[in-house]
Structure 1
Amino acid sequence: MKTIILAGGLGTRLAEETGLRPKPMVEIGGRPILWHIMNIYASQGYKDFLVACGYKGDLIKEYFANFFIHNSDFFVDQSDGSREIIGSNSSNWRTGLIDTGQGTMTGGRVLRMRELIGDETFMVTYGDGLGNININELLKFHRSHGKKATVTAVHPPSRFGAMSLDEEAVVEFSEKPQEGWINGGFFVFEPSVFDFLQDDSTILEREPLEKLTLENELMAYRHDGFWQPMDTLREKQILEDFWATGTPPWEIKK
């Protein structure tokens, strides 16, 4: 199953970092937050990724193009440039790095992946939020209700699209929250969700999710565990502090 990671936004609230790199490449514990997000999935067996690049996407592409070398020890024969790998900590992930446009909105970035997804169920998440989401349980929940879409509902650190829940059904999806449950990403979508996406200007969190809600096709998987976005330097430091403990709460315990 493929996972789309939305990694193309400007990250204006983290301008001190994102002037130099895209927000998903901002590092936590010496690795991009994008790597940490992918590892949440990969550590649970989901290793097929489509990264929706945009702003400074060349830096994301360069990181993955050189990922094996950066995570390996090797000898170089300087007479001909040949390499002998003597040890590697690289990963067996399959990662598609797709340019989805500089100004494309979240729904538009997902829509641009339509041909690569085909007719299969797929997952989507944001390139700036970490959580100890049990992906197997999320997928089990999605398959159990038979609807077109599942969003992972989390408890705020505030500012994000709020949801009113009736049991697991989403009965209202609004952009300005007050309290309770919020959109934490970690979506599961049936391919029919593409029909709710119009063009590059489509904002996933507005008309598509609102329309899915009105049609009773959006369900919420309630996650009571850890979840933390990285929108500001303060939130970056929170994640760094967690990493420094040696047991960051977004790492999945096996």
Structure 2
Amino acid sequence: MKVAILAGGKGTRIVEETEIRPKPMVEIGGMPIIWHIMRHYARYGHDEFVIALGYKGQYIKDYILKYSSLHSDLHVSLRTGEVTRRNGLAPDWHVNLVDTGLETQTGGRIKRLAPLIGHETFMLTWGDGVSNVDLDRLLAFHKAHGKLATITAVRPPARYGHLDFDGDRVCEFNEKPQAAEGWINGAFFVLEPEIFNYIEDDTTQWEKEPLQNLARDNQLMAYKHDDFWQCMDTLRDKYVLEALWQSGKAPWKTWTEA
């Protein structure tokens, strides 16, 4: 099943990083966050990607083109320029890189991917959020209800530590847990190709009319994921994700190194 990833936004809320590269290329643990996302999908057998590029898209193109060389031992003949790769660690993924325009909105970017998606069920996510959502269960949920769209609903991470009291005594303390109340759009969609009919043009925001009209038409279902989810909207978010990775207990690391 193809996985569409929106990676064309300007990332203005994390401008400290995105002045020099697109947000999906901001690194966690020395690897771009888009790599973490792709590893999660590949762990469930989804290894054909369609990436919607926009702002500084050449950085993502360059990274994908050079990935095999960057993660392999190389023998280079200086005379002929011939390069032989050895001990390559590059995964067997197939990646389509599509320039969807600098100012195109999220819905427009999705619609521009339609020729590569074809008439098949596909997955969709953003290039800046990680989760340990079980993609097998998500897909099974989507197939069972028979609607056009499934959205993964998540509880946002709490900004501050959570305290439970017994009188004035603290009986439980959780440092920045997932919020106990409220659900938000966590992306990680499963979609039928008919959703392209809900998108008008490049100016359409996926989060507005398309999702609103899918809900109105009783074609939008929510898969509730109450475990780990974290987007990287700000520099603070990046620091949180980096600290989790360095701890060796990153919840979204669902794959093995082999």
State whether TM-score is above 0.5.
yes
Does residue 74 of structure 1 match 2:63? Answer: no
Alignment equivalent of 1:219, drawn from 218, 221, 230: 221
Partner of 1:66: helix, strand, or coil?
helix
Measured against aligned partners, the alpha-carbon deviations of 1:71-127 in whole angstroms (never above 9, x if no partner) come to 100111111111222211111110001000000010000000111111100111001
Aligned residue number for residue 19 of structure 1: 19
Read off the aligned partner of 1:26 and give its amino acid letter: V
Which residue is equivalent to 2:201?
199
TM-score scaled by structure 2?
A: 0.89
Give the TM-score taking structure 1 as reference length. 0.90
- SS of alignment partner, residue 153 of structure 1: strand
In the other structure, the counterpart of 1:168 is none
Q: Is the 8 A contact 2:39 2:255 kept in 1?
A: no
Kindly report which structure 2 residues correspond to 1:66-145, keeping only aligned pairs within 5 A, or say none: 66-145=66-145
**Post-superposition shift, 1:198?**
0.4
Secondary structure of 1:213's partner? helix
**Given residue 238 of structure 1, which amino acid in structure 2 is its aligned partner?**
V
Measured after TM superposition, the shift of residue 150 of structure 1 is 0.1
What is the CA RMSD across the aligned residues, in angstroms? 1.3
Q: Deviations over 1:182-217 (max 9, x none)?
A: 000000110110000000001000000011111111
* Structure 2 residue matching 1:104: 3-state secondary structure: coil
The CA distance in 1 between the partners of 2:145 and 2:42, in whole Å, is 25
Larger radius of gyration between Structure 1 and Structure 2: 2
Partner of 1:28: 28
Which letter does structure 2 place at the counterpart of 1:89?
L
1:154 aligns with 2:154: yes
How many residue pairs match? The answer is 235
In structure 2, C-alpha distance between the alignment counterparts of 1:93 and 1:83, rounded to whole Å: 21
Q: CA contact under 8 A between 2:154 and 2:184: conserved in structure 1?
A: yes
| Unaligned segments of structure 2, at least 5 residues | 160-180
- How far off its partner does 1:224 sit? 1.1
CA drift of 1:253 comes to 5.9
Letter in 2 for 1:252: T
Distance 1:48 1:92 in 2: 9
Task: Structure 1: state its 5+ residue gaps.
Answer: 160-178
Amino acid in the other structure paired with 2:192: E
For residues 44 and 186 of structure 1, what CA distance do their matches in structure 2 show?
13
Look up the match of 1:173. Answer: none
Identity rate, percent = 53
The answer as to whether partners of 2:150 and 2:190 remain within 8 angstroms in 1 is yes
